[in-house]
Structure 1
């Protein structure tokens, strides 16, 4: 009986906060295909309570010296480093990705924590002396207040960590609304912040569904929203958040292409296609989902990819497997439906993931890696974000045709080129209309000192995640002009101030 399952509540004011909404949703172990927990879904009263607690805690935290805030950040970093395996097990149990992949996402999130540990440097303003006679000007960055983070299911540890370390280090209070599919990682992180010495109320976890999202978007005491998810929802969050006067960064979907030129190392390209196409069961916004082969490389490259796919094991992420299940049965069935669409559209299914024999419970949400050749660019398999382990191959006759194909899409998140020609690579990185580019690197997620985000329908808002742009997003700039009077003070002058 699912009614007897443990319920994941909220984290408000430094402690677990039982829900009073009466609404819950099932949380599954994807490798078992069974519900193991339930998660509370917040109502309006709980949303208001969470925001009120954050609003009450923020002024004292924002007024604390940078040195004392940094102490908490460094302690959190050390605790996270010590206990990463524990968090990885939680991620795997609710998302399904293999443990090594879960550890990898935590390490990438920790990069942002470490970047935020240098916030004293990142918040430095500017100073100009004697801009006018006896006048100096300096600038400073100050926190926004209460900020919201709405994160997706595919990276329950890393994506929130793209935002909350910088927001907290800059003096804000954070309300995290995790995906209801895998909420336990956020609760674990909240407890870790508590242990690191973060004051109660500065980090809140508000579990919920659309009601919680809308509550944060509409609440007058929430100054900014960071969102990662599908493009339709990203557009919704951006439009509704800005309509309510909020600063919004909304990272949307993707259809990432990997362009392989005839001079490329095909073994390297085949390895990259496997790693970028099927890691985390393809449930990555930076996954390679389209391989654009410049002839005559397609047949040889497909053969190498097929050989590697046949050696992959699919199963429970806690076992020694290469790829785990998909996050829910509904998502598994949706992804599998695209294989049928490919067949109907005349493409060739080279490797069919529906035939997989998993190393795991028969009831798990299994779909094996799938390779589809000769995909028409009019097919939904090509035009839509599948978000699963399906790699489509499109054949083109030239570099120019490949670039035109990539640029014609609605998305502009990530792309990669595989070549040994430095001139072609340099031309590609300047020509292509995409926000993040890899040169012989299939998943070009920048390190935390740079900023993450795509172009076109892959991002809404002007500021990307983490790095310098993340600092700008979570702070507001203040300019101060000063004049200290001296005996040469010239008296009253009602004319417009002029620099002299």
Structure 2
């Protein structure tokens, strides 16, 4: 679309400054609760992307040699600014994404954890040394930055997902180009501005906006050395393959179908409350949402109470702090979710609670879908094979823990899974036998704290290394190994030694 109101235009961020795009292609950013146009985002031109990368490449020459102590101090200042701006960041998230303010504030806090971890860069980036690996010879490793990195993030966590990428990358001495989601870009932009306000030199951290064309420019650009992606499986596979074929280091954290096992000995009240939060929080728009509940044995008798408690959840705009479920991000997302609910009915699942045709007083145009609960779900149904990415819970009933584990392992995705039980034996069996990267024990959303790596697996991940923790430092650095020997000043010279004994 063409731009009509310059005051709503979202800028690019290049070389430490806001830059108004000259693009002729713009997209409306819409408040999901009201359909009000709250911003307009440009789809950056090729020249603008090239300029952002060029500035990042130029900044890398000096930033890579900035002391660890100085980089640490900038991260410390950044975490302070981030903590001071939790409220305005959450308001931006709610305005453009729709999630409730408490949920948005929780997202900012998870991003803050990563920044706090990046403040440890002075110890994270230490190498190793073996003195006298051979007689008079030392061997040591150095973790050096790789150059210009890039991040491509999904709409569902516009603050947390960028924090999964650039804080560790720039703290390690790299420079960075971020392409946030075009659906809710302003909180990502504000986050980057806070990092620059903390003291990052111009060009170290940049923002470009856009769609598939900009994604491809990033994957193809010869001066970008590494690309990190978090989002859908379709786009993530494309990004990983295209960036890898262009000779870049790449990682893609992608879609999922997360399961939660409930054993009869679980704390019933806690389990059900956690199930509802994991399935319906953020309107189900989480890659870690536990959308499939696997009830073992007599826990099938809990189904009426699960449905009854789901009916009590309040649906409303994200600005209502009493709301449990906010609107979906777009009308297209709502239509897709409602279409999958319809397919579940058509394919034989039992619809116990229907969230379609949801109405919220005063918000007739909002993208609301209420909590939806299915039982009798089969593995061939669309509501099971596809990631609904909406507030829908699919209930599956099995007889034993072994059957539940086998059921989950048969699914191609491996992002996250949980179990609710009071049995240490059952929990240990589950964590040992389940073939999923992230496991929760009486925890519904098994996203680890930031100093542990995000370890989704199988069809939910491409690339050997994930965001956060030690793996993030490995992804954003290259290891250089040095083998060194020094001779005394009066040693015999002139003769070339072509062999080195390692005895």
Residue 356 of structure 1 deviates from its aligned partner by: 2.6
- 8 Å CA contact 1:316–1:360 kept in 2: the answer is no
Find the counterpart in structure 2 of residue 426 from structure 1.
428
C-alpha separation in 2, matches of 1:400 and 1:359: 46
Q: Which residues in structure 2 correspond to 1:29-428 (within 5 Å)?
A: 29-300=31-302, 302-320=303-321, 321-428=323-430
Name structure 1 gaps, 5 residues minimum.
none
Residue 349 of structure 1 deviates from its aligned partner by: 0.9
Residue 488 of structure 1 deviates from its aligned partner by: 5.2
In the alignment, is residue 25 of structure 1 matched against residue 27 of structure 2?
Answer: yes
Find the counterpart in structure 1 of residue 444 from structure 2.
442
C-alpha separation in 1, matches of 2:423 and 2:132: 52
In the alignment, is residue 464 of structure 1 matched against residue 481 of structure 2?
Answer: no
Q: 1:360 to 1:115 in 2, by over 3 A?
A: farther
Aligned residue for 2:23, secondary structure, equals coil
Q: Of the candidates 478, 481, 484, which is equivalent to residue 483 of structure 2?
A: 481
Q: 1:157 to 1:97 in 2, by over 3 A?
A: same
Residue 489 of structure 1 deviates from its aligned partner by: 5.0
Q: 1:225 to 1:198 in 2, by over 3 A?
A: same
Residue 400 of structure 1 deviates from its aligned partner by: 1.4
- 8 Å CA contact 1:292–1:396 kept in 2: the answer is yes
C-alpha separation in 2, matches of 1:432 and 1:246: 32
- 8 Å CA contact 2:144–2:477 kept in 1: the answer is yes
Question: Number of residue pairs matched?
Answer: 499
Residue 493 of structure 1 deviates from its aligned partner by: 5.6
Q: 1:194 to 1:480 in 2, by over 3 A?
A: same
- 8 Å CA contact 1:172–1:202 kept in 2: the answer is yes
In the alignment, is residue 498 of structure 1 matched against residue 488 of structure 2?
Answer: no
Deviation >4 Å, runs of 4+: 487-491
TM-score relative to the length of structure 1: 0.97
- Deviation per CA, 1:275-328: give whole Å up to 9, x if none: 10011000000001100111221132x222222212111111111311110000
Higher mean Cα deviation, 333-342 or 2-11?
A: 2-11
Residue 43 of structure 1 deviates from its aligned partner by: 1.7
C-alpha separation in 1, matches of 2:87 and 2:297: 44
- 8 Å CA contact 1:31–1:360 kept in 2: the answer is no
C-alpha separation in 2, matches of 1:495 and 1:191: 54
Higher mean Cα deviation, 277-286 or 264-273?
A: 264-273
C-alpha separation in 1, matches of 2:301 and 2:36: 41
C-alpha separation in 1, matches of 2:493 and 2:69: 42
Q: 1:493 to 1:57 in 2, by over 3 A?
A: closer
TM-score relative to the length of structure 2: 0.97
Report the aligned-residue RMSD: 1.4
- 8 Å CA contact 2:3–2:26 kept in 1: the answer is no
Find the counterpart in structure 1 of residue 454 from structure 2.
452
Residue 119 of structure 1 deviates from its aligned partner by: 0.3
Aligned residue for 1:38, secondary structure, equals strand
- 8 Å CA contact 2:108–2:159 kept in 1: the answer is yes
C-alpha separation in 2, matches of 1:375 and 1:219: 45
C-alpha separation in 1, matches of 2:498 and 2:227: 43
C-alpha separation in 2, matches of 1:268 and 1:171: 44
- 8 Å CA contact 2:81–2:194 kept in 1: the answer is yes
Aligned residue for 1:372, secondary structure, equals strand
Aligned residue for 2:394, secondary structure, equals strand
- 8 Å CA contact 2:311–2:371 kept in 1: the answer is no
- 8 Å CA contact 1:33–1:329 kept in 2: the answer is no
C-alpha separation in 2, matches of 1:70 and 1:318: 35
- 8 Å CA contact 1:347–1:373 kept in 2: the answer is yes
Residue 453 of structure 1 deviates from its aligned partner by: 2.6
Higher mean Cα deviation, 188-197 or 353-362?
A: 353-362
